[in-house]
């Protein structure tokens, strides 16, 4: 089965948490089937193959739907 996106780059980033301290997240730059390039932020807890794949696929499908408007 072909993926709806291609991961171009992943960047680990740190930011201030709302309740203090820091939190890590991962910014994925992806290219959709329609050619749209976008960034998707994924939390450290969701940075696994099983959790990240559906998040990226949903964002890619949504971007391609908007592109067709």
- Nearest residue to 46 via CA among 24, 31, 22: 24
- pLDDT value for 1: 54
- Provide the number of structural domains found in the chain: 1
Q: Is the pTM of this model over 0.75?
A: yes
Which of the 8 DSSP states describes residue 1? -
Domain range enclosing 22: 5-67
- Nearest residue to 32 via CA among 4, 58, 56: 4
pLDDT by residue (tens digit) across 3-20?
899 999 999 999 998 889
Pairwise pLDDT comparison (3 vs 25), residue with the higher score: 25
- pLDDT value for 49: 94
């Amino acid at each position: 089965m072909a993926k709806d996106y291609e991961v171009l780059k992943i960047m680990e980033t740190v930011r201030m948490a709302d309740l203090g301290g820091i939190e890590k997240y991962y910014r994925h730059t992806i290219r959709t089937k329609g050619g749209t390039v976008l960034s998707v932020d994924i939390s450290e807890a969701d940075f696994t193959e099983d959790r990240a794949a559906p998040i990226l696929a949903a964002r890619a499908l949504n971007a391609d739907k908007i592109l067709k408007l």
